Structures are given as C-alpha cells and as structure tokens.
Structure 1
Amino acid sequence: MKNRILIVEDDADIASVLQDYLRHAGYETEHAADGRTGLARILAAPPDLTLLDLMLPELDGLGVLRGARARTNHPIILLTARIEEVDRLVGLELGADDYICKPFSPREVVARVRAVLRRASPSAPADLAESALVLDEDQWQASIQGTPLQLTRREFRLLQALARHPGRIFSRGQLLELAYEPSDDVTERAVDSHIKNLRRKLAAAAPTHDWIRSVYGVGFSFEAPEG
C-alpha cells in the first residue's frame, strides 16, 4: 500500500512540482492550499506524512502543527522561506520531524520524506544504528563494527546524546544540556568543535556514511545507516 503524503502549501506551482515528484517516487498525494483546510484533513484522516509550509493563509503552519500534535503523532516536515533560528526551533519544539528551507530541490524533499517515513515505520529495523555503532557506557568507549573511535569523554557523551534519538534534530543549546556537565566551561561554539572532531573520527572508521547531519540554523541529528 502506498504511503499518503499531504502537502499543505499555498503556492500552487510548488505544490504541483512536489506532487509530481512524490507520485513519481511511488507516493499518493493530496493538497491543501490553506492552513485550516490542511488541519481539518489531518484531523479527519491523518496522512502517513505531512509536508507543511509555515507561511499559510487562514492558519499559519505553526498553528497547524500545534493542532495536529494535539491529536496525532504522524510525521510532519516543515517547509519555509523563513531563515530565523527562532522559527526553526519553535517548529521543532512543537514536534516537527524535520525542516527544509526554500528554495529547495524537489529531489531533496523526496529524500527527506523517504528518510522520515523509514524512521517512523513500525516495520523498519529499530536498531540500525546500534547494529553498527556500539557505545560502552561503563568504559566510555565507542566503536563502529569493531573499529574503536578513540573519543574524548565529552565527544562520547555528545555522540551518546545524538545516537539515542536517530533522526531527531538537536539545537546546540539542547546538546549543551544533554552532553555536558553544568560545571563544564563550554559554549555553543565548543559544540561545533566537538561535532567536527566526531565527524572526523566517524568518517575514519566508516567513510561511506555521513553519521551526523547539520541542519542549517538549527543544529545536528544522528543519521543511522540504511540497513
């Protein structure tokens, strides 16, 4: 059975292009041109995934997101031309699963839809990351398919925080709270430095996979390998 994708987008040209690409990728699609209509369709019959624009008539995207999350946990990806970090963080804190900025490539949208649906599918393996990545909390050691990563304690805790929730996007502030002690004298700039070191060590052990994804203006997510 095909996954059903709801596109809530007031720009008819963008909606039409997205529908064409998604249908070509094997998905069923439907379109709502304003926020109230989109929310009504979500509440009446939640789709498998919603692509939700933030700038909508009648009811904006954050209003739709709030209303949807009160009734359903189905995946929602935000689409927006807004670049302010606060908009991104508010959307993610309300329960968005991903965030794509305009202008975007339709192929990128299809790829993100596929990735989010794969993570949300109950039939998908739940421990893809664990099958390759091993975190030994007692010894503060990490390895990928038997190859030690030689992480510092701070790098280990940062990787641990990310890997516990594959696909979830964490802001730098959230990572500071999760991966560092209150007594640590670190800033959000230090998070970037530690992420850079983690990427280098992960790439050395498994160069064919990009383990940590940067989301511009938002933060970082851990990406489990595909099978």
Structure 2
Amino acid sequence: MGPVARVLLVEDDESVRRALSLALGRHGHDIVEAASGEDGLAVLRAERPDIVVLDLMLPGMDGFEVCRRIRAEGDVPVVMLTARGDDLDVVGGLEAGADDYVTKPVRPRVLDARIRAVLRRGTPQQRPVETYRDLVIDRAALTVARNGRPVSLTPTELRLLLELSQSPGQVLSRQQLLRAVWEHDYLGDSRLVDNCVQRLRAKIESDPARPVFVQTVRGFGYRFGPV
C-alpha cells in the first residue's frame, strides 16, 4: 500500500522538522521538506504535494505570505503550525487561506489526524448533479461551476459547500459544521468555519456581502439557499 499523502513540511527549525518528518513517515506519509518559505514554494512547484504543513514563523518570507502565494497558485490544502493560544496567528493564517491549524508543541498523532481529515474532504459522495440558479454542484465528480465556468475550491471549501447543500434550507450550527467538515473535537473554535465561509462566498456569490447560497442565520449558524 502506498503512502497516505505526499506532505510538504515547511519548518525552519531543523530539530522540529526532522522530528515531524520521522513521525509523519511512521504514520505512512511521504515527506518532502523545506527550511524557508522561498524554498517551500519552489518545492511545491517541483514536487506537487497533496498537502502542505506550514510553520507561520519563518525567516524571510513568513508563513502568512507563503500561504497567500500557495492559495493564489492553486488549491493544495494547507495545515499551519502556530504558537499555542496566539489568536492573531490563527486568524491571520486562516484569512491567508489555511484550511486548518495545529498548535505548537505539535503532537504528531494530532497532526496526522488533521492531515487525514483534510484529505478526506475530497472523498466522493454518491449524489447526482445539483443545480441552484447559476450554481452547479456535481457530487460524484467533486466539481462546482457557476455561470458555466468551473469554480476552483480547496478541499475544505468544497466539503463545506457539500455539507451545507446536502439539506437546502436547513440551518447548521458552527459546531455541527466543525464536526462534519473539520472533524474537530474542540467545538469552541468557530473561526475555522467563519473564515472558510468568507472564502467560499468570495468564489460562488455574485455579491459576497449579500450572499444567496451561504446565508448567515444570526445566533444559530449557516444555511444553504436559495430555497
């Protein structure tokens, strides 16, 4: 059986990088490494990994800028490594386009679980093609189109859209979405949901400030429309 995933690990601390590489290798992943943001982008283009594990505090080009460039170039998912309890790091990383985060010191078992959860978001679901106004969702092919043009979504954005659109009109709380999309046990972290909703709206809504498809239900959560 082949590796679970080809993982690009971008971490400037050599001891941390080597320890995580060895641990993730034992979990079945194929690891490629980079010690800086600039090297990370070069390795990304050369190696085409399935997922990037990215430290935010890098010398030179920091992790926020690296994440923005990764997101500008494609949809490879990003799990960021951040200092424990640093809300500014978490929010900044999510706004830059990260799919999930793990706090330092990193427990390899937790990081492996987050990697697998992100990759599972691309698992096909057997449902027909669905059309909502100018938005077309093909669950079998895992594609989304708007006005006849493909919409490029990250695995997390796609999984969020699939989860919301499974039951149009039904309100899903942030806690329900965290369980279903991110598979998180800690349910207090609604920032993951809110930032992903913002990114999704920017891609599928004609006017993200007046969303039609991903609607906010104040005090409760989100629902998929129009209904």
State how 1:93-172 maps to structure 2 within 5 Å: 93-120=95-122, 122-123=123-124, 135=167, 137=169, 156-158=171-173, 162=177, 166-167=181-182, 170-171=190-191
Q: Give the one of 78, 87, 93 matched to 1:91.
A: 93
| Residue deviations 1:102-143 (CA, integer Å, cap 9, x gap) | 0121111111111111113x5577699999xx8573xx6xxx
Q: What is the distance in 2 between the residues matched to 1:173 and 1:73?
A: 18
Query: Normalised by the size of structure 2, how large is the TM-score?
Result: 0.59
SS in 1 for 2:43: helix
For residue 172 of structure 1, report the CA deviation from its aligned partner.
8.8
Residue 78 (structure 1) aligns with? 80
Is the contact between residue 9 and residue 34 of structure 1 (CA under 8 Å) also seen in structure 2? Answer: yes
Q: What is the distance in 2 between the residues matched to 1:26 and 1:172?
A: 27
Q: What is the distance in 1 between the residues matched to 2:7 and 2:192?
A: 31
Residue 201 (structure 1) aligns with? none
Q: What is the distance in 1 between the residues matched to 2:26 and 2:172?
A: 41
SS in 2 for 1:74: coil
Distance 1:14 1:160, change over 3 A: closer
Distance 1:124 1:84, change over 3 A: same
Q: What is the distance in 1 between the residues matched to 2:192 and 2:82?
A: 21
* Equivalent position amino acid for 1:66 in 2: R
Residue 202 (structure 1) aligns with? none
For residue 157 of structure 1, report the CA deviation from its aligned partner.
4.7
Is the contact between residue 79 and residue 102 of structure 1 (CA under 8 Å) also seen in structure 2? Answer: yes
* Equivalent position amino acid for 2:217 in 1: Y
Q: What is the distance in 2 between the residues matched to 1:118 and 1:102?
A: 24
For residue 86 of structure 1, report the CA deviation from its aligned partner.
2.6
Is 1:26 aligned to 2:32, yes or no? no
Distance 1:4 1:161, change over 3 A: same
Q: What is the distance in 2 between the residues matched to 1:172 and 1:22?
A: 24
Distance 1:161 1:41, change over 3 A: same
Pair member with larger Rg:
1
Q: Give the one of 11, 14, 17 matched to 2:16.
A: 14
Distance 1:32 1:136, change over 3 A: closer
Residue 180 (structure 1) aligns with? 217
Distance 1:159 1:61, change over 3 A: closer
Residue 69 (structure 1) aligns with? 71
RMSD of aligned residue pairs (Cα, Å): 3.7
Unaligned runs of 5+ in 2: 127-138, 141-158, 184-188, 198-213, 222-227
Q: What is the distance in 2 between the residues matched to 1:84 and 1:27?
A: 28
Distance 1:158 1:45, change over 3 A: same
Is the contact between residue 118 and residue 124 of structure 1 (CA under 8 Å) also seen in structure 2? Answer: no
Distance 1:159 1:44, change over 3 A: same
For residue 173 of structure 1, report the CA deviation from its aligned partner.
9.5
Is the contact between residue 7 and residue 52 of structure 2 (CA under 8 Å) also seen in structure 1? Answer: yes
| Residue deviations 1:66-125 (CA, integer Å, cap 9, x gap) | 1111111111100021633232112112211101110121111111111111113x5577
